[in-house]
Structure 1
Amino acid sequence: MKRVRNTLHAFPLRSIALATCFATASGLAWAQEQNPATEKLLEGIQNGERVEITLPDPEKQLPLDDLRKFTEVFSRIKDAYVEEVDDRQLLESAIKGMLSDLDPHSTYLAPKDYEDLEESTSGEFGGLGIEVGMENGFVKVIAPIDDTPAQKAGVQAGDLIIKLNEKPVKGMSLEEAVQLMRGKPGTILTLTIMREGETGPIEIKVERDIIKVTSVKSRMLENGYGYVRITQFQADTGSQFRDALKKLENKHGGNLDGLVIDLRNNPGGVLQAAVETADVLLDEGLIVYTEGRIQSSRLRFSATEGDVMEGTPIVVLINGGSASASEILAGALQDHERAVIMGTKSFGKGSVQTVIPLDENHAIKMTTARYYTPNGRSIQATGIKPDIEVRPAELKELDSKPFFTEADLTGHLKGKNEKKQDQEAPAPDDTASLAEQDYQLRSALNLLKGIHILNPQDKAKAQGSGQ
C-alpha cells in the first residue's frame, strides 16, 4: 500500500491482506455493511481495479492519547480513591463535567432533573419561584417569578446567592444548588445574598411552596389603554396572549388606543411560545432565526398574515431580568418597528438549548444554536437595548401651593364653559392605579397617550369604533 496525502491507493494483490484482516477481526459481512470504504475496496479487488479511498481527516479523529488518559484516571480513582466509587457514578460525573464546561446552560439531566424540567415548562412545580444561573461559582438570580415565595420575600433580579441555609454555594453545580432550593412546601430556606448597592450580605427567609405560574395576566390601565404582563413563556402562552387581547378589547368596546406589554423579570421559556406571541402582533416578515452547526439547529420562524391589534401603538417594558424568549419577542417587535422598547437593557441570553433524551429517564440539555433577531442581531451577552431608557424610580407626589388663575380675580370676565364655584369636582379614585405606583409603567402609558394625541389616523379609528 502506498499513502499519498489523504488517500489510499490499493492494488488488487496487495489489498487481499487488508481485506482478510477486516474479515478476521469483525466478520467480512459486517465490514462490508458498516464501512463504505471497505465496501469500495472489496469491489475493486473483485473487479481487478485500482482503488482510491479518502482517509478520514486525522484532526477529526478521536484523540487516542487523551482517551488513554481518561481511562488511566478512571482506573486510578477506582483503585486508589479513599472510598470505593461506583462505576456508574464516575461515568455520570464525567458526562456532567463535559457538559458543564461548555457553557452555563448545558447540563446532564438525571431522572429527577429531567422531571423538574418538564414540570417547569408545564407551569407547576415545587420550590421558591426564581430563575437562576451561575456566575463566578455563585448562583445568580436572573429573575424572581411573579406571585411566588421568592418574589414576595423580596428576592430581586441580579442578586448573587452565596449561601443556602448554612451551605456555601461556591463549588456547587447549578443542579446541586437547584435541588437544595427545591423542597417540601411549607419548609423555610434562608438565602444569603450579595446585592449591588448593599455594603454586606443580606439574609432572606423564603417559605417553599408549590409554584403555579400564571403565564399571562391582563388589565385595563385607563380607559382605552391595556396592560398585559407575560411572566414566563410556556407552551400555551401564545394562545393565552391572544385571548387576553380579545378580552381587553371587549371590555373597552373596540380597538384599544394603546397597549403595554410587560416583559420585566421574564426569564424566558419555550422558544415556540415567543414566536407565537410575536405572530399575534406582526402581519408578515421574519420573527427570529437560529444558527448552529447541525442542520436541525438552523431554523427560521416567520409571521403569518394578520395583526390582531391592527396597528395599535405598543410599548414593551424590559429590564435586566428579561431573558431568552422574552428577548426574542422584544427584538422582533423592535426590528419590525411594531413597538417602542422601554426600560433598561435585557439579560442577553441569546442561545437555544435542546433537550436530547438518552433513554426514558435521562437526557442532556445542550446549547445547539444562537438566535438572531430579524435584522441579524445576536443578543448573546449583549442583550436588547431599549429605544427609550427609563430606569426604575420611586414616585412621590410633591405638595405645592395652588397658583392663582384668571378665575380667581375679582370681577373677571366670565368664560363660556366656566363652572359655578359651588359645583364640586368629582372625587378622585381612592384606589391607586398600577401606573401610579410604577415609574416605568407610567412612562410607558404617557408615551402611548402622546402617540394617540399626535396620530390622527389612530384618533379617527377610535372615533369610528364608538370610543
Structure 2
Amino acid sequence: MRSTSSSKRYFVWLPLWIAFGIVIGIVIGNGFSIFTSQKKIFSGGNKFDAVLQYINEAYVDTVNTEELIEKAIPGLLAELDPHSTYFTAKEMELTGDDLEGHFGGVGVQFVLRNDTVMVVSVIVGGPSQAAGIRPGDRIVYVNDSLFAGKGMTTDKVMLNLRGAEGTDVKLGIKRFDNPKIVNITVRRGDIPVNTVDMSYQPAEKIGYIKISKFGGTTTQEFISAISKLKKAGSESFIIDLRQNTGGYLQAAIDMVNEYLDKGELIVYTQGRAFKREDAFANGSGTSKKDQLIVLMDEGSASASEVFAGAIQDNDRGLIVGRRSFGKGLVQSQQKFVDGSALRLTIARYYTPAGRSIQKPYELGKSGDYNQDLMNRYLRGEFDSQDSIKQDNEPVFHTAAGRLVHGNGGIMPDVFIPRDTIGVNSYYISVMNNGLVYEYAFTYTDKNRQRLEQFKTWQEMDAYLAYQPLLTNLISLADVKGIRYRPYLVTECRNLLNLQLRANIVRNFFGDEGYYSIVLQDDIVLKKAIELIQEKKATPAAIKGQTYKDVKKNSIMGYYRDRTPSISIISMDMNNWV
C-alpha cells in the first residue's frame, strides 16, 4: 500500500519539478546571456568600437558616446610619439588658416591688458580701418554682450572676432579720449598673414631676413625679400630662423632651392608605411653663389631644421647660434566631418647626410620629452658648447667631409651662448608681469597725436631716447608690487630702455621698426655680419674647414659685455583677428 501511494505522489509532483527546472534554466540562461554576448562582442573585430557599442546599449545610465570619444582619442594618442595630436573642432576653428597665409577676421592686432582687449594696430585697407576702428581702441562689447573682465583669454577673442569672410560683428568701442561707448559694425574680410617679419640691410651689402614660420605664402614672401635686398645691393644673406617652430615642409624646400645647385639633395622622408621620398634642388635658385648664414636657437624646429640641415650638409652656408629643438617627425593631417582633425606621425625627416633630425623619445612619455629644453638649460647647454651631450649620438659627414651629429637637432657650426649681462631678478619680474608692454601701450595712448607726426621709426626712436620712459616704468612696477632696487635697475636699465622704445615704435611701425631696434645689440647677428665680412661663409671657405676649425669658431664668452639677443623678448604681440 505504501509503495503504491508513494508511486502516485511521485507521478503527481514529477511534472511540477520538471517545470520548475525549466524555469530556473531559463532564468539562469538569461543571466548568463549577458556574459555570452559580452564574449561575442570581444571575440574579434574592432574592440574600441565594440566597447562603445556595448556602453551605448547596456550601460546603467544614459551617456554621450561622442563626448567619450573626444576624451578617449587624446589618451590614445598620448601613448604614441609627442607630436601625434588631436584637435577638436573648436581648436581647429581657433587655429584657422594661418599657415595658408590668410584667415577670416576683422583685421586688427590686439593685446589683453587688465582683462580688456586693446587694439594695437589696424591693417591698412582692412575691414576695421574701413569701419573706423583706430589703434588704441578698447573692445568692450561684442554683439551687445560685455566683452571684458575676468575670463577674457586670447582664445575667446579669436573665437568671437574671427569668422567667415562677409559676416558682420558689432563692436562696442571705448576710446581713450571719449567716455561714451562707440558702436561700430565690422564686416569680416580675408586677412593676410605674413611669415617674413622683416628684411633689411644691417650692414653694407648684407641682407637680413627674419622668418617667423613656414606657411603657404612664405616662398613668395621670401623671394620678394631677396629681390628687394638684391636691388639694394645685398650680396650676402643672413636668414634668421630663431624661435621659428616650423610649418609646411614644401616652403622650406623652396627656400633651400634658392641656394643649392641642381641635383643636390635637400631632404628625404621615410616611414614604416611610407617609402622614401627625396627632394632635390632644381637649379633655378637666384642666390647659389652668395654667402649665407642661418641663425638658429633651441626654439627652431621642424621645417627650420630641414632648411638648416640642407644648408649644412651641402656645405652651402654656416649655421650660427645654438642647437635647434630636434623635431624631425612628419605629420599627416586627416579632418573629420565635424571639423576636428588628427595629425598623425607617419615618417621622419632626414638631412642629405642621412641624419635624423628628431631627438630621442619614448612612446607614451611626452612629459619627459617636454622637459628636454629645461634639462638643456639646467645642465648649461645654452651657456657652454661643452655642456651639449653628444656622446651617444651617431656621427655623419657633410658633402665635403665635415663632421656633424645626428638624432638631436642641428648643431651650429659657430656656437654662441646666450648673453645674461643685465638680466637680473628685477628685469625678469618686470618682463614676466608684462609691465614693459603695459607701459608702452599706455604711453602710446597718451601721446598718440605727438607720436603720429614721426615719418620714420628712426625719428621716433631718437625722440624716445630722451624721454623718461624708465623712470615712469619703475613707478608703475612699484605700484604693481615690484620694489625699486637701485643697483638692479642700474644693471638692467639699458635692456629695459631698449624694450620700451622698441615696443612703442612697434605700435606705429610694426615689426620692421621693432626688430630694427632690438637687433641693434644682437650678438648673434653681429657675429654673423663679422663672419660674412671676413669671407668665412663662402662655400669654398666652408668646404675647407675641419672639425677643429669649427670648434675654434665658437665664441663662448665672447661679446659678454653686450645686451641679450632677441630670444628673450616677449612675443605676445602676434595676435591678429
- For normalisation by structure 2, the TM-score amounts to 0.45
Q: Any unmatched runs of 5+ in structure 1? A: 1-61, 130-146, 148-164, 168-176, 187-209, 397-428, 458-467
**C-alpha contact (below 8 Å) 1:78/1:85 kept by paired residues:** no
Deviation of the 1:311 alpha carbon: 1.3
Deviation track 1:152-206 (CA, whole Å, cap 9, x = no partner) reads xxxxxxxxxxxxx999xxxxxxxxx9967965569xxxxxxxxxxxxxxxxxxxx
Deviation of the 1:454 alpha carbon: 9.7
Secondary structure in structure 1 of the residue aligned to 2:222: helix
The answer to whether residue 218 in structure 2 is matched with residue 237 in structure 1 is: yes
With over 3 angstroms needed to count, the CA separation of the structure-2 counterparts of 1:84 and 1:223, relative to structure 1, is: same
Of 521, 537, 540, which aligns to 1:437?
Answer: 521
Deviation of the 1:108 alpha carbon: 2.9
In the alignment, the residues of structure 2 paired with residue 89 and residue 453 of structure 1 have an alpha-carbon distance, to the nearest angstrom, of 56
In the alignment, the residues of structure 2 paired with residue 275 and residue 286 of structure 1 have an alpha-carbon distance, to the nearest angstrom, of 10
In the alignment, the residues of structure 2 paired with residue 241 and residue 358 of structure 1 have an alpha-carbon distance, to the nearest angstrom, of 33
With over 3 angstroms needed to count, the CA separation of the structure-2 counterparts of 1:118 and 1:374, relative to structure 1, is: farther
Deviation of the 1:79 alpha carbon: 5.8
Deviation of the 1:65 alpha carbon: 7.2
The amino acid that maps onto 1:93 is K
Of 229, 237, 240, which aligns to 1:248?
Answer: 229
Size of the aligned set, in residue pairs, is 296
The answer to whether residue 72 in structure 2 is matched with residue 94 in structure 1 is: yes
**C-alpha contact (below 8 Å) 2:210/2:240 kept by paired residues:** yes
Give the structure with the larger strand fraction.
1
The amino acid that maps onto 1:214 is N
Secondary structure in structure 1 of the residue aligned to 2:308: helix
Of 221, 229, 238, which aligns to 1:260?
Answer: 238
Cα root mean square deviation, aligned: 4.1
The residue number in structure 2 matching 1:318 is 296
The residue number in structure 2 matching 1:365 is 343
The residue number in structure 2 matching 1:388 is 414
In the alignment, the residues of structure 1 paired with residue 537 and residue 64 of structure 2 have an alpha-carbon distance, to the nearest angstrom, of 71
Give the structure with the larger helix fraction.
2
In the alignment, the residues of structure 2 paired with residue 228 and residue 309 of structure 1 have an alpha-carbon distance, to the nearest angstrom, of 14
With over 3 angstroms needed to count, the CA separation of the structure-2 counterparts of 1:436 and 1:220, relative to structure 1, is: same
With over 3 angstroms needed to count, the CA separation of the structure-2 counterparts of 1:69 and 1:213, relative to structure 1, is: closer
The amino acid that maps onto 1:258 is S
The amino acid that maps onto 1:320 is E
The answer to whether residue 209 in structure 2 is matched with residue 228 in structure 1 is: yes
Deviation of the 1:307 alpha carbon: 3.4
The amino acid that maps onto 1:215 is T
In the alignment, the residues of structure 2 paired with residue 80 and residue 268 of structure 1 have an alpha-carbon distance, to the nearest angstrom, of 45
Which of structures 1 and 2 has the larger relative contact order (alpha carbons within 8 angstroms, sep 6+)? 2
In the alignment, the residues of structure 1 paired with residue 53 and residue 271 of structure 2 have an alpha-carbon distance, to the nearest angstrom, of 33
With over 3 angstroms needed to count, the CA separation of the structure-2 counterparts of 1:320 and 1:272, relative to structure 1, is: same
Deviation of the 1:433 alpha carbon: 6.5
More off after superposition, 364-373 vs 443-452: 443-452
Q: Any unmatched runs of 5+ in structure 2? A: 1-40, 111-120, 122-148, 163-189, 360-407, 423-460, 466-515, 542-577
Of 521, 533, 541, which aligns to 1:449?
Answer: 533
Deviation of the 1:302 alpha carbon: 0.7
- For normalisation by structure 1, the TM-score amounts to 0.54
Secondary structure in structure 2 of the residue aligned to 1:341: strand
**C-alpha contact (below 8 Å) 2:260/2:288 kept by paired residues:** no
Deviation of the 1:318 alpha carbon: 0.2
The answer to whether residue 260 in structure 2 is matched with residue 282 in structure 1 is: yes
Deviation of the 1:72 alpha carbon: 5.1
With over 3 angstroms needed to count, the CA separation of the structure-2 counterparts of 1:213 and 1:266, relative to structure 1, is: farther
1:170-181 matches, within 5 Å, as none
The amino acid that maps onto 1:223 is E
More off after superposition, 234-243 vs 324-333: 234-243
In the alignment, the residues of structure 2 paired with residue 455 and residue 94 of structure 1 have an alpha-carbon distance, to the nearest angstrom, of 52
Of 168, 175, 195, which aligns to 1:215?
Answer: 195
**C-alpha contact (below 8 Å) 1:218/1:244 kept by paired residues:** yes
More off after superposition, 97-106 vs 210-219: 210-219
In the alignment, the residues of structure 2 paired with residue 346 and residue 166 of structure 1 have an alpha-carbon distance, to the nearest angstrom, of 38
Deviation of the 1:282 alpha carbon: 1.1
The residue number in structure 2 matching 1:11 is none
In the alignment, the residues of structure 2 paired with residue 107 and residue 393 of structure 1 have an alpha-carbon distance, to the nearest angstrom, of 35
The amino acid that maps onto 2:319 is I
The amino acid that maps onto 2:411 is K
The residue number in structure 1 matching 2:81 is 103
Deviation of the 1:120 alpha carbon: 2.8
The amino acid that maps onto 2:531 is L
With over 3 angstroms needed to count, the CA separation of the structure-2 counterparts of 1:299 and 1:456, relative to structure 1, is: closer
Of 303, 307, 311, which aligns to 2:281?
Answer: 303
1:75-224 matches, within 5 Å, as 75=54, 84-124=62-102, 184=160, 213-216=193-196, 217-224=198-205
The amino acid that maps onto 2:320 is M
With over 3 angstroms needed to count, the CA separation of the structure-2 counterparts of 1:64 and 1:305, relative to structure 1, is: farther
Deviation track 1:237-280 (CA, whole Å, cap 9, x = no partner) reads 1121111111101012xxx3421110000010011111111111
In the alignment, the residues of structure 2 paired with residue 315 and residue 441 of structure 1 have an alpha-carbon distance, to the nearest angstrom, of 10
The amino acid that maps onto 1:221 is P
Deviation of the 1:455 alpha carbon: 10
